[in-house]
Amino acid sequence: MQDLLQQIDKSRLPQHIAIIMDGNGRWAKEQGQDRLFGHFHGVDSVRDIVEGCAELGIGYLTLYAFSTENWDRPQYEVVGLMELLVKTIRAEVESLCKNNIRLHVIGDLAMLPEYARRELAEALEITSRNTGLNLIMALSYSGRWELLNAVKNIAYEVKKGRLDVADIDQQTLQRYLCTSEFPDPELMIRTSGEYRISNFLLYQLAYAELYFTSVRWPEFRKANLYEALLDFQGRERRFGKTGEQVAAVK
């Protein structure tokens, strides 16, 4: 693991990493266990990757923890996930403060049970003055929900006469997204061997580098993160330009 870390160019790290934490249920099934067993062990990976990003000096880390579609899963799993969420936040908030990590949450929080919203609000307040890594949890979130919500809010402002249609541009839309306070992710990692973004940050991932690994989330650790970063640093990011144009700017 140290060999991998030493290969990373600290001057070329992505400012924002987004991760789809996939494979908890399949990993648990492979162990002959219930799906919640996988989610429980996935918390260890969250802790390790958050620590790894903080150590590297990454500015923003967004974790796709629970999508709007996940509400359709079996009731026992949804309830178990909510209880695990609350238990984890309660247990980790002291560590977040100790490591100067600020917690943020994006998503349709109105769908969360009251006890979960209460615990989240307390953690957000406690960590609000931290100035290190910004840890963004996507809970009850989906990209289509976010875009629809933004369009509705923009339409409302137009209806009220506070916004002119002619003035609407990309910056306008970005102001109404859940992520308006954060830069777009430069690297998106998905674990467990699936090759799709599953309704995650649809607008924000426009020019992100996508990295897919077959490693299940409960087994994803700092070494795997370092491998993703090395892969990221080996790519040429052109943003629609030619390789020659990019080289000329350097």
From CA 227, how far away is CA 106, in angstroms rounded? Answer: 27
Residue with tokens 């977040």: 96
From CA 132, how far away is CA 191, in angstroms rounded? Answer: 25
Q: Which helix (H) or strand (E) holds 247?
A: helix 243-249
Residue with tokens 């070329």: 12
DSSP state for residue 187 in the 8-state scheme: E
Asked if residue 228 lies in contact with residue 205, where contact means CB atoms within 8 angstroms, the answer is no
Cα 196 to its chain centre, rounded Å, is 15
State the catalytic residues: 22, 70
